[in-house]
C-alpha cells in the first residue's frame, strides 16, 4: 500500500494556552491546520511578535525563511492581526489523521507493544550478544494507569559482563509523534545481531564496544499517538490544570528553563519544560542510566528536517569541542547526506533543557558525551514507499558512530592491485591520523605502526614496521616477494600511546583483509557503457563514454566504428579522469537512414594483455534520423528568453549539478533556486513542418519545484504557437504532474497543468515525449514556460537534449515476434523472427538482447527473408542459468522508430537457458475420504513444477465412463457438479483444460478402459510452466457403491526425468447411513468469509456458513503455497 502524505517537520513546537485549550475542548469543531508562514519580508518587530506567539512550529526552512506550523483558527486570526501572510497546506489535520488510520498507515511503524516484542525476541534469539534492561517507568506506570517501561538493550560479545569497552548510546522517540525513530534504532539492533560472525566489520564493533539502544524514551506518548492523537508530542503527565504532557526534550537538567523561548513554562505549550529539571520519570530514568555508564557518543533520533544538530542548543554558540562535533557530524552525514549545524542554523531557534546539551554539558556528575540529534526525513508521516529508505540511510551513520567511539587512530590506504611481479618487494603506503577526539587527545605511537601480511588469509601474520615518508601523515612499508601464483593478504595497524589500535581495513580484527594476487593475470578489464541512441542528422559529432577498470591497470581503450557496414575505423579513447574514457567521431557526411555500428575494446597492463570487448559479440548500432537537435554544447541553440527571466544557459552547479549529456543545459537558475513570482519563457526558433507527415518533440529534464499535499504552487509546461498564433498548452504522452493552485500571490500559470512537485516527481533526469503530428504541414514555435508564486523557491527546472523529429511517414508495425520459452539448449542459437511492415521502407530491423538484467544490450542486425516482411536474427548460445531478455527495434527511412514490446527496453520478452529440468511435485501425497452412501465430495490436487523447463503431464487410470459431469452454473461461493444421463455429451477435453487454468471447475470423461467408477479428475493432461503450479479438481461420488473401503490411485505421467511416474493413493471409506449421519445430497450453498483483520498479528477471525439442515462431516484447514496442510481449524460432524 502506498499512501501519499504531505510534509510535516519536527522541530520546536510552541503552543499558546488558548490554542491548546481550544484543541482540548473540540478538535473536530475547530480542526488544526498546517500553515506555511514566510518571514523573509517581516520587519524585526513583527518577526519578534510572531515568535512570541509560541506557535507549534513543525519545520523551519533557513534558506526560504519560512516556518510550517500547526495552528487553530484563533491562531490564524492572530497571524492576520499581525499582518503575517500564510498559506494553508492542509485544511483539516484531524480528518487527515483519520484517513491515515483508516488506511492502516500506522501498521508500517512500531507501537510500544511491537517495539517491546522485538526487543524481547532479540534477547531470546541472541542471549550471548543481547541483554534487555528495564531502566525505569513511564509516567502513567508511576500512577498505576498503564504498564509501560523504558527499555534499553545492550549489544556486546560478552554481554553479561562490563568489560570497560567504549560505550555507545542510541535513542529514539523523545517526541511521541516522531514514529519513524523507533524503527531506526530497532533496525540497527537487528543488523548487528543478524550479521555478527559473518560480517567482519559488525563482528569487530560488537567485540570491541558496548552498544546501548533505547527505541523509545516516551512509551506513553507513543501509545497515545497510535491510539488517540497522531500529532501528540509530549509525555502523558496530567499537569493538574487541564493540560497534559511535558516535552521530555526540554526537561533535562543542563540550562533547564534558561529562557522562555527555548522552552515554555506553560503546561499547554508543546515545549512545556515541566515543573523542574528531571521532573519526569522518563528523563530521570535516562539521567540515572547514563550516570551509571561512561558513554562517549550518543545519537537521539528525531524527525524531521534532514539535519544533524549538535550543541549548544540553549545559546547559539559553539562548544569548546566544536571541532570534534563538526568532524563527527561530517562523518555521519557522509552516509545520510543531511546538513549539520547548531539548532539556530538548522531548525531556526534555540532549545534549552534538551538531551544533547545535558549529555555533553553536564560534566560534574558524569563524563562528557558528544551527543547529536539527527532529524530524519521530510515528514512526520512519510510516504510508505520511503520508510525503508529513511531507516536504511541512517544505518551507516550508526555504524560509524559506534566505530568512532573507540577513538582508534585512523588508517587510510589505497589497496594494491594484482601484479605479475613475483620478485617484489611490494610497497604499501598509508596515511595515519589521530581519531576524532571524544575524551582527551593522545599521540600516535610511531614505533607501533605495522604492516602485517601472509599468503594464507588467516592468522598468524608476519609484521614489518612502517616508517614516515616525509609527506604529511604518510607511512610506508614493504612486503617481500612471495613467488609465483600467490595470493597475498595484508592489513595495517597503528596504535597510540594509550594502546588504542586502528586498522585498515577497519575490521581487520574481525577477519577483513586487503589482498592482491601475484602471478600471471588472466582477468580481463571490466567495461561499462551506455549505448548511444539514434542521432540527429544535424549532429556532426558523436560522443562516446565508458568506464573501464582492471585489477592490473588499463593500457588502452579503443573505439571501433563503421558507417553503413563499411570498413572499420579505430579511435583511441582518452581518460579525462580515473576509470573514465571518452572519444568522439566526426563523420565526413551522414544522411538520414545511415547506420553506424561500433564496439569498444579494452586492454589491460598484464603480460597477457587481456582484452574485454563490449558487446562481446556483434556490435552496437544507431541510425541517423531526420530531426532538429539542441544539445546546448557548442552554443545556447539560439533559444530566446524573456527579460526578466530565470532561464540561464551553461553548466549547472545546483539541482542535478550536471547535464544529462555533455556539460551544458538551460535551467531556471544554473546555481541556486528560481525567483519568487517568476514568469520565465524560453522559446525555440520557429520549426518548419510544412513537408512533414509526423513529428515528435522529446527532451530530458530534471526538476524540483514547490509542492505540498498534492498542491502545485510552482511549475512549468510546454506551449505551442501555430503559424504565428497564440501559444497554447500541449500535453506529453505521460501527462503533467498536476495543476497550479496559487491564488495569492498569483502564479502566472494559475490553473494550468505543469511539471512540478517534490523530489519524488523529479530529482532524476527523465524524458518527455510530445506528439506533434497534428501540426504537420504548418510552422510552429515551442516554448518552455515556467512560473512561480511569491512564497518559497526550489532548485527548479533543467532541460537538455531537446529534439524534434521530422518524419515523412508512419512508424513501422511489428507483430508475431517469436516468444521463446525456457530451454535447456545451451548451444543455441535462438532464432527470433518478427513480421515488420511499413508504409514506406523498413530501413533497419535490430534484435537487441541482454544477459545482465538489461544493464547492457547486444544489437543484432535482423535479415529479411527475400520477398517478405519477415525478419530474423539468431541469439547465440548461452551458459546455463542465464536469463535472456530481448526486444525488436525497427526504423524506416524517415527515422520513425518502433519497438516490440512497445515499452522496451523497460518491457521485454525473456527466457531462461537452464539445466533445471521439469520437476513435478504433487500435493497432497495421498487422499482419504470418509463418506456416507450417495454422497459427493469435491477436492483437488496441486501440481507444482519446481524446475524451470515446462512440465508436461497426463493423468491415467482415474475415472470411468459410467459417470459424466460438466460445469454447472456458479453460485456465489463455488462450483457445483451436476449429474448427467449416459446419453448426454460431456464437455470436450480442450474446454476442460482451458477452464481449469482459469480456476473454474470442469469434469470430463476419462479415456476408455479406466477402472475407477467413483473418482473423476478435472483434466487428463496439462502444461505447467517453470516455478508455477496448477490445480487439478477431483470429484468423489459414492452413488451405487457398497459400504466399506475402496482403493484407487491417480497416476501422473510427466517429462520429469527423475520422476516420470507419480502416484497418489486414494482411499474411500463408505459407512452405512443412520440417524444423524450425512445427508446424501451435497450442500447447494456454502460460504467462507474473508478473515478479519487481514493482515493480522496474533489472531484473526475466520467465518464459514453451511445451509440449515445439512449434516455431515466438515473440515476447515489452512494450506501453504506448496499445498501442504499447515493446521486443521475445524474437523467433525
- Rounded to the nearest 10 degrees, the angle between the axes of helix 17-25 and helix 73-82 is 150
H helix or E strand, kind and range, residue 122 = helix 112-125
Note the Cα 768 to chain centre separation in Å. 23
Cross-strand pairs, 478:
427
Closest CA to 950 of 1023, 1011, 849, 1002: 1023
**Residue that is written with C-alpha cell 568506464 in the block:** 547
- 425: CB partners within 8 A, 6+ apart: 478, 479, 480, 481
- Rounded to the nearest 10 degrees, the angle between the axes of helix 395-404 and helix 200-208 is 50
Write down the H helix ranges in 867-955: none
Cross-strand pairs, 433:
410
Grid coordinates of 1030: 496448477
Write down the H helix ranges in 788-858: none
Rounded to the nearest 10°, the torsion over CA 58, 64, 65, 69 is -20
Buried b (16+ CB within 10 A) or exposed e, 663-674: ebbbbbbbebbb
DSSP conformation class of 812 = P
- Rounded to the nearest 10 degrees, the angle between the axes of helix 73-82 and helix 44-52 is 160
Q: Is the dihedral of CA 99, 101, 104, 109 positive or negative?
A: positive
In degrees, rounded to 5, the angle at the alpha carbon of residue 764 between the alpha carbons of residues 761 and 766 is 85
Integer-rounded Cα Rg, in Å, for the chain is 36
Separation between Cα atoms, residue 999 and residue 1032, nearest integer Å: 9
547 in helix, strand or coil? strand
Grid coordinates of 299: 545519537
DSSP conformation class of 619 = B
Separation between Cα atoms, residue 33 and residue 17, nearest integer Å: 17
Cβ contact 931:1045 at 8 Å: no
Separation between Cα atoms, residue 311 and residue 258, nearest integer Å: 15
3-state SS record for 192-240: HHHHCCCCHHHHHHHHHCEEEEECCCCHHHHHHHHHCCCCCCCCCCECC
Write down the H helix ranges in 794-857: none
Closest CA to 924 of 939, 910, 909: 939
Cβ contact 534:891 at 8 Å: yes
314 in helix, strand or coil? coil
Annotated active-site positions, please?
375
Separation between Cα atoms, residue 92 and residue 104, nearest integer Å: 19
**Residue that is written with C-alpha cell 517453470 in the block:** 1026
Rounded (to 5) percent helix, strand, coil in the chain = 15, 35, 50
Given the DSSP bridges, would you call strands 410-413 and 951-956 parallel, antiparallel or unpaired?
A: unpaired
Outline where DSSP puts E strands in 267-342.
295-301, 307-309, 339-341
Q: What is the DSSP string of 577-593?
A: ETTEEEEEE--S---TT
Q: What is the DSSP string of 622-643?
A: EEEE-EEEE--SSS-TT-EE-S
Closest CA to 1026 of 824, 842, 848, 811: 824
- 985: CB partners within 8 A, 6+ apart: none
Amino acid at each position: 500500500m502506498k499512501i501519499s502524505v504531505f510534509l510535516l517537520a519536527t522541530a520546536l513546537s510552541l503552543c499558546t494556552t488558548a490554542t491548546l485549550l481550544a484543541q482540548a475542548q473540540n478538535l473536530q469543531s475547530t480542526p488544526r491546520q498546517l500553515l506555511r508562514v514566510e518571514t523573509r519580508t517581516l520587519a524585526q518587530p513583527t518577526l519578534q511578535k510572531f515568535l512570541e506567539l509560541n506557535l507549534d512550529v513543525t519545520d523551519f526552512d533557513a534558506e526560504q525563511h519560512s516556518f510550517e506550523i500547526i495552528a487553530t483558527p484563533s491562531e490564524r486570526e492572530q497571524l492576520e492581526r499581525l499582518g503575517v501572510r500564510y498559506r494553508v497546506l492542509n485544511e483539516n489535520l484531524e480528518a487527515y489523521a483519520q484517513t491515515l488510520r483508516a488506511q492502516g498507515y500506522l501498521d508500517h511503524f512500531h507501537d510500544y507493544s511491537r517495539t517491546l516484542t522485538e526487543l524481547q525476541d532479540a534477547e531470546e534469539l541472541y542471549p550471548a550478544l543481547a541483554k534487555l534492561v528495564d531502566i525505569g517507568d513511564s509516567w502513567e506506570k508511576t500512577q498505576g494507569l498503564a504498564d509501560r517501561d523504558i527499555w534499553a538493550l545492550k549489544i556486546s560479545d560478552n554481554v553479561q559482563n562490563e568489560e570497560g569497552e567504549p560505550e555507545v548510546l542510541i535513542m529514539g522517540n523523545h517526541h511521541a509523534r516522531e514514529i519513524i525513530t523507533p524503527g531506526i534504532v530497532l533496525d540497527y539492533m537487528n543488523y548487528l545481531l543478524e550479521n555478527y560472525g559473518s560480517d567482519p566489520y559488525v563482528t569487530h564493533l560488537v567485540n570491541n564496544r558496548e552498544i546501548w539502544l533505547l527505541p523509545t524514551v516516551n512509551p506513553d506518548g507513543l501509545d497515545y499517538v497510535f491510539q488517540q492523537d497522531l500529532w501528540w508530542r509530549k509525555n502523558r503527565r496530567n499537569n493538574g490544570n487541564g493540560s497534559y504532557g511535558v516535552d521530555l526534550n526540554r526537561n533535562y537538567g543542563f540550562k533547564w528553563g534558561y529562557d522562555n523561548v527555548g522552552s515554555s513554562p506553560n503546561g499547554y505549550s508543546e515545549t512545556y519544560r515541566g515543573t523542574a529539571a528531571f521532573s519526569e520519570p522518563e528523563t530521570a530514568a535516562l539521567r540515572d542510566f547514563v550516570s551509571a555508564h561512561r558513554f562517549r557518543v550518543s545519537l537521539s533520533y528525531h524527525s524531521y528536517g534532514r539535519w544533524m544538530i549538535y550543541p549548544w542548543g540553549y545559546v547559539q554558540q559553539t562548544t569548546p569541542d566544536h571541532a570534534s562535533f563538526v568532524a563527527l557530524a561530517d562523518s555521519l552525514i557522509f552516509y545520510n547526506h543531511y546538513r549539520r549545524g547548531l539548532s539556530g542554523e538548522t531548525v531556526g531557534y534555540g532549545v534549552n533543557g534538551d538531551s544533547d546539551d545535558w549529555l555533553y554539558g553536564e560534566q560534574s556528575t558524569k563524563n562528557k558525551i558528544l551527543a547529536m540529534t539527527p532529524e530524519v526525513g521530510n515528514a512526520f508521516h512519510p510516504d510508505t514507499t520511503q520508510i525503508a529508505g529513511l531507516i536504511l540511510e541512517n544505518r551507516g551513520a550508526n555504524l560509524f558512530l559506534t566505530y568512532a567511539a573507540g577513538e582508534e587512530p585512523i588508517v587510510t590506504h589505497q589497496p594494491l592491485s594484482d601484479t605479475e611481479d613475483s620478485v617484489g618487494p611490494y610497497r604499501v603506503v598509508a596515511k595515519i591520523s589521530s581519531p576524532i577526539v571524544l575524551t582527551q587527545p593522545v599521540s600516535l605511537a610511531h614505533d607501533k605502526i605495522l604492516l602485517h601480511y601472509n599468503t594464507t588469509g588467516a592468522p598468524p601474520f608476519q609484521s614489518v614496521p612502517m616508517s614516515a615518508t616525509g609527506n604529511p601523515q604518510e607511512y610506508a612499508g614493504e612486503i617481500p616477494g612471495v613467488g609465483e601464483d600467490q595470493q597475498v593478504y595484508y592489513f595495517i595497524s597503528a596504535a597510540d600511546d594509550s594502546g588504542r589500535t586502528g586498522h585498515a581495513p577497519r575490521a581487520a580484527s574481525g577477519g577483513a583483509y586487503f589482498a592482491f594476487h601475484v602471478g600471471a593475470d588472466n582477468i580481463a578489464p571490466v567495461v561499462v557503457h551506455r549505448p548511444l541512441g539514434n542521432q540527429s542528422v544535424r549532429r556532426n559529432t558523436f560522443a562516446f563514454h565508458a568506464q573501464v577498470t582492471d585489477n592490473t591497470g588499463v593500457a588502452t581503450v579503443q573505439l571501433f566504428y563503421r558507417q553503413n557496414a563499411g570498413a572499420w575505423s579505430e579511435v583511441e579513447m582518452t581518460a579525462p579522469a580515473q576509470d573514465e574514457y571518452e572519444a568522439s567521431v566526426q563523420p565526413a557526411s551522414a544522411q538520414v537512414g545511415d547506420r553506424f555500428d561500433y564496439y569498444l575494446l579494452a586492454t589491460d597492463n598484464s603480460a597477457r594483455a587481456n582484452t574485454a570487448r563490449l558487446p562481446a559479440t556483434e556490435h552496437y548500432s544507431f541510425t541517423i534520423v531526420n530531426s532538429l537537435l539542441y544539445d546546448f554544447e557548442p552554443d545556447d541553440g539560439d533559444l530566446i528568453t524573456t527579460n526578466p527571466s530565470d532561464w540561464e544557459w551553461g553548466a549547472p552547479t545546483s539541482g542535478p549539478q550536471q547535464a544529462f549529456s555533455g556539460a551544458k543545459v538551460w535551467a531556471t537558475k544554473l546555481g541556486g533556486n528560481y525567483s519568487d513570482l517568476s514568469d520565465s519563457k524560453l522559446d525555440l526558433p520557429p520549426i518548419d513542418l510544412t513537408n512533414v507527415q509526423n513529428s515528435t518533440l522529446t527532451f530530458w529534464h530534471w526538476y524540483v519545484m514547490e509542492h505540498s499535499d498534492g498542491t502545485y504552487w510552482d511549475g512549468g509546461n510546454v506551449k505551442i504557437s501555430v503559424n504565428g498564433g497564440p501559444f497554447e498548452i500541449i500535453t506529453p504522452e505521460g501527462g503533467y504532474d498536476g495543476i497550479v493552485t496559487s491564488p495569492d500571490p498569483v502564479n502566472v500559470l494559475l490553473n494550468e497543468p505543469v511539471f512540478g512537485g517534490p523530489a519524488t516527481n523529479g530529482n532524476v533526469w527523465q524524458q518527455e515525449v510530445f506528439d506533434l503530428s497534428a501540426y504537420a504541414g504548418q510552422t510552429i514555435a515551442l516554448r518552455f514556460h515556467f512560473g512561480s508564486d511569491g512564497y518559497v523557491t526550489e532548485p527548479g527546472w533543467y532541460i537538455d537534449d531537446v529534439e524534434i523529429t521530422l518524419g515523412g511517414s508512419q512508424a513501422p508495425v511489428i507483430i508475431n515476434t517469436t516468444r521463446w520459452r525456457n530451454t535447456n539448449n545451451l548451444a543455441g542459437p535462438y532464432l527470433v523472427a518478427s513480421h515488420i511492415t511499413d508504409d514506406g521502407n523498413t530501413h533497419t530491423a535490430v534484435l537487441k538482447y541482454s544477459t545482465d538484467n538489461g544493464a547492457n544490450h547486444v544489437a543484432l542486425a535482423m535479415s529479411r527473408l527475400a520477398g517478405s516482411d519477415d525478419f530474423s536474427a539468431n541469439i547465440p548460445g548461452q551458459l546455463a542459468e542465464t536469463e535472456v531478455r530481448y526486444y525488436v527495434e525497427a526504423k524506416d527511412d524517415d527515422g520513425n522508430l518502433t519497438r516490440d514490446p512497445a515499452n522496451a527496453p523497460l518491457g521485454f520478452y525473456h527466457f531462461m537457458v537452464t539445466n533445471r529440468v521439469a520437476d513435478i511435485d504433487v500435493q497432497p501425497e495421498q487422499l482419504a475420504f470418509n463418506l456416507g452412501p450417495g454422497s459427493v465430495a469435491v477436492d483437488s490436487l496441486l501440481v507444482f513444477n519446481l524446475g524451470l523447463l515446462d512440465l508436461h503431464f497426463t493423468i491415467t487410470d482415474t475415472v470411468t465412463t459410467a459417470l459424466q459431469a460438466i460445469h454447472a452454473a456458479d453460485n456465489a461461493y463455488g462450483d457445483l457438479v451436476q449429474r448427467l444421463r449416459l446419453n448426454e455429451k460431456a464437455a470436450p477435453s480442450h474446454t476442460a483444460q482451458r477452464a481449469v487454468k482459469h480456476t473454474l471447475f470442469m469434469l470430463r470423461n476419462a479415456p476408455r478402459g479406466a477402472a475407477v467408477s467413483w473418482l473423476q479428475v478435472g483434466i487428463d493432461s496439462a502444461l505447467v510452466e517453470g516455478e508455477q503450479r496448477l490445480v487439478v479438481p477431483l470429484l468423489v461420488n459414492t452413488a451405487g457403491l457398497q459400504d466399506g473401503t475402496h482403493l484407487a490411485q491417480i497416476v501422473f505421467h510427466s517429462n520429469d526425468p527423475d520422476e516420470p511416474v507419480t502416484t497418489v493413493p486414494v482411499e474411500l471409506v463408505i459407512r452405512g447411513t443412520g440417524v444423524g449421519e450425512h445427508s446424501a445430497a451435497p450442500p447447494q450453498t456454502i460460504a467462507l468469509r474473508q478473515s478479519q483483520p487481514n493482515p493480522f498479528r496474533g489472531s484473526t477471525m475466520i467465518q464459514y456458513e453451511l445451509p440449515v439442515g445439512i449434516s455431515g462431516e466438515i473440515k476447515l484447514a489452512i494450506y501453504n503455497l506448496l499445498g501442504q496442510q499447515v493446521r486443521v481449524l475445524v474437523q467433525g460432524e
